[in-house]
Structure 1
Amino acid sequence: MSEWKELTNESQTRWDGIAEFWDNYMGEQSNRFHREIVRPKTEELLTVNEGQIILDIACGNGNFSRRLADLGAEVVAFDYSAKMIERAELRSKDYLNRIKYQVVDATNYDSLIELGTERYDGAVANMALMDIADITSLTRALQQLLKKNGVFVFSIPHPCFQAPNTRKIHETEEINGEIVTRNSVQISKYLSPEPIETIGIRGQPVSHILFHRPLSYYVKLFLSANFVLDGWEEPNFQKDEDSNKRFDWYELPPAVIFRFKKL
């Protein structure tokens, strides 16, 4: 089983409960992970042009929606958390002529179709599909929402390296008089889809539900819906002066970003 639609309400309730915390943490510019890992390659794969209409799926507090508007797009952005949308609108007062925010459940096919068939040049979901209990309705709807040759770009935590029960290991060893550090991950499961409770940001009031799926699941799902995979990135952090003091993802990609094109 890779879809858990019965958990949608529970997932939504938890995100409403942590919306304020996440918004305060992410702020206007979001965190380092989004700035260095997610945004650059997402923008590269999406290739936004002036005047395009872009659908921002599970938009959170609207950080990337505003970036899309800055790039010249007209944006329709939605999230199933009404509190997240409230936060997004508060932060987007200077963008309301370019961004339309809505509360929409991405597991509800009929609600998605109401956003407009063959209206969008592209769609994007930044670090979101793993938080959606059932993505089959979204996949079917995107085939209707996108224009011909429209693209859908989405990022998720890399399921090969951030599978359930993954251990992150940071080792320091002296070799021939030099201090050598190594980062590695230890995993015991990957192929079996499962929902897990997780803490995305230390200190968040309650955990949220992450829906782990292997890479093959995403690829097969979109190919079966008449999309073609024509872009793929596995971004990593670049080493800096603090890299030897912490676990950092400079050889292991913490996220994977896909681009699927509508046939």
Structure 2
Amino acid sequence: MNQWKELTEESRSKWEENAEFWDSYMGDLSNQFHREIIRPKTEELLNVQAGQALLDIACGNGNFSRRLAELGAVVTAFDYSPNMLQRAITRSEQTASEIDYRVLDATDYDSLLTLGTAQYDSAVANMALMDIADIVPLVKALGQIIRDNGVVVFSIPHPCFQAPGTRKIHETEDRNGEIIHRNSVQVSSYLTPEPMYSIGIKGQPVAHLIFHRPLSYYIHTFKQSGFVLDGLEEPSFEPDESAKRQFDWYELPAAVIFRFRKIRP
């Protein structure tokens, strides 16, 4: 078993264990981070049209799959965690005819090709590619299953500001009688791709694996499979004075959202 296989199996095992906790936390409407940071710009970049065939990669409990169906898309959604996918199916009774859920491993190129050649107008992956040990098979397969001029839109934690070993710093300063609050990050590693363990939601049963990659890694990988970058967003929360003592992402983007478009060879 090679390194990627071992990491994929470990990652899958941890998501199987975390599935119930994450599903309960996200619920039917997802959390504030997804609603305010991820969804608005993702929907804008996707520009979903009724009747389009869309692929939802690493769909989790199906929150965004159901949203795509509401927008009129015909959705195929997959995840490598059977526990998580079963929860997606359970939550999707109202949209069962519009969503085809499948258990698939995004690191298995041959399995991905069973989705068909040039079958999809677009694909989306919300906060998921950083959970995939090796994205090369996925991107290579997307070059086959996405139609010409179709797009792949995906979000990840912003790797410039959430690299391995990043320290979040909160400072206060008494400036002429006014208390000033300032949030920052300290980054000491960025360029080298590496796996690390993470607690995405406080209280989850076990830490899960995430895979840090610099921005250039994603751009080069998609380029090799016939995609060009034609959209990018770096969303952040709107300032909230009531929460200024907490570390919130105002001037530093918490996520980055890419849109890659497939061009003709």
Please show how residues 28-107 of structure 1 align to structure 2 within 5 Å: 28-107=28-107
TM-superposed deviation, 1:241? 2.9
For the residues of structure 2 that align with 1:47 and 1:95, how far apart are their CA atoms? 20
Q: 1:197 is matched with which residue?
A: 197
For the residues of structure 2 that align with 1:51 and 1:225, how far apart are their CA atoms? 26
Q: 2:245 is matched with which residue?
A: 245
SS in 1 for 2:156: strand
For the residues of structure 1 that align with 2:132 and 2:83, how far apart are their CA atoms? 17
For the residues of structure 1 that align with 2:11 and 2:240, how far apart are their CA atoms? 36
**Identical residues among aligned pairs (%):** 67
Please show how residues 13-28 of structure 1 align to structure 2 within 5 Å: 13-28=13-28
Where do 5+ consecutive residues of structure 2 fail to align?
none
For the residues of structure 2 that align with 1:69 and 1:245, how far apart are their CA atoms? 39
The list of structure 1 runs, each at least 4 consecutive aligned residues, that deviate by more than 6 angstroms after superposition, is none
Q: What code does the residue aligned with 1:99 have?
A: I
For the residues of structure 2 that align with 1:231 and 1:245, how far apart are their CA atoms? 33
TM-superposed deviation, 1:117? 1.0
For the residues of structure 1 that align with 2:95 and 2:250, how far apart are their CA atoms? 35
For the residues of structure 1 that align with 2:27 and 2:205, how far apart are their CA atoms? 17
TM-superposed deviation, 1:238? 0.3
Please show how residues 33-182 of structure 1 align to structure 2 within 5 Å: 33-182=33-182
- In the comparison of the two structures, how many residue pairs are matched? 261
Q: What code does the residue aligned with 1:35 have?
A: R
For the residues of structure 2 that align with 1:81 and 1:137, how far apart are their CA atoms? 18
For the residues of structure 1 that align with 2:214 and 2:5, how far apart are their CA atoms? 18
SS in 1 for 2:241: coil
- Measured against aligned partners, the alpha-carbon deviations of 1:167-197 in whole angstroms (never above 9, x if no partner) come to 1111111101111110100111111111001
TM-superposed deviation, 1:6? 3.0
For the residues of structure 2 that align with 1:241 and 1:100, how far apart are their CA atoms? 43
Q: What code does the residue aligned with 2:92 have?
A: S
TM-superposed deviation, 1:94? 0.6
For the residues of structure 2 that align with 1:220 and 1:33, how far apart are their CA atoms? 28
Q: What code does the residue aligned with 1:206 have?
A: V
Q: What code does the residue aligned with 1:197 have?
A: Y
SS in 1 for 2:66: helix
TM-superposed deviation, 1:5? 3.8
Q: 1:232 is matched with which residue?
A: 232
TM-superposed deviation, 1:49? 0.3
For the residues of structure 2 that align with 1:11 and 1:63, how far apart are their CA atoms? 21
SS in 1 for 2:33: helix
CA RMSD across the alignment: 0.9
Where do 5+ consecutive residues of structure 1 fail to align?
none
Q: What code does the residue aligned with 1:97 have?
A: S
For the residues of structure 2 that align with 1:8 and 1:62, how far apart are their CA atoms? 21
Q: What code does the residue aligned with 1:175 have?
A: R
Q: 1:8 is matched with which residue?
A: 8
TM-superposed deviation, 1:122? 0.3
For the residues of structure 1 that align with 2:168 and 2:192, how far apart are their CA atoms? 20
TM-superposed deviation, 1:4? 3.2
- Measured against aligned partners, the alpha-carbon deviations of 1:113-149 in whole angstroms (never above 9, x if no partner) come to 1011101010000000000001100001001111110
TM-superposed deviation, 1:243? 3.2
TM-score under structure 1 length normalisation: 0.98
SS in 1 for 2:163: coil
SS in 2 for 1:4: helix
Q: 1:187 is matched with which residue?
A: 187
